Amino acid sequence: MGVHPKQPNQIDIDVGNKIRLRRRLTGMSQTALGTALGITFQQVQKYEKGTNRVGASRLSDMARILGVPVSYFFEDGQSHDVAESSGESELLTQFVGTSEGLALNRAFAQIPDGGIRRKVLSLVKALADEEQ
């Protein structure tokens, strides 16, 4: 039997994607998250890639630091037969990975009035339809 490098478990990858997404949405660097957790930014990278599994106590600490319930890390990715859900999650991660996506998300989240947020969303949808 040859030695094969261990492939990350899909759940670990999904949790890592959620950690990265939430960290970026809050504007926190890997270094800042690592410092808050008492670990290196390299360890945060390994968690985000799914190459290292996040223990329960560490995940609980991450949730507290990132301002979400622990269940956040398991939403929309638990079932492997929901390809559409993970595809949407990947698109969202790619969008937030751009400087425009991150800036737009942060600015949108700062609008206190729900009615204005809905109007902005309508405007963006209208502009997207106009482009097509």
Instruction: Name the least confident of 22-26, 80-84, 89-93, 95-99.
Output: 80-84
Residue 14: Cβ within 10 Å count: 22
Q: Hey, where are the domains in the chain?
A: 1-97, 99-132
Task: State residue 45's pLDDT score.
Answer: 96
Task: State residue 83's pLDDT score.
Answer: 42
2 compared with 10, residue with greater pLDDT: 10
Distance CA 47, CA 45 (A): 5
Domain 1-97 has CATH 2.40.50.140: no
Confirm if 71 and 43 have CB atoms less than 8 A apart: no
Position 131 pLDDT exceeds 90: no
CA dihedral (67, 72, 84, 52) positive or negative: positive
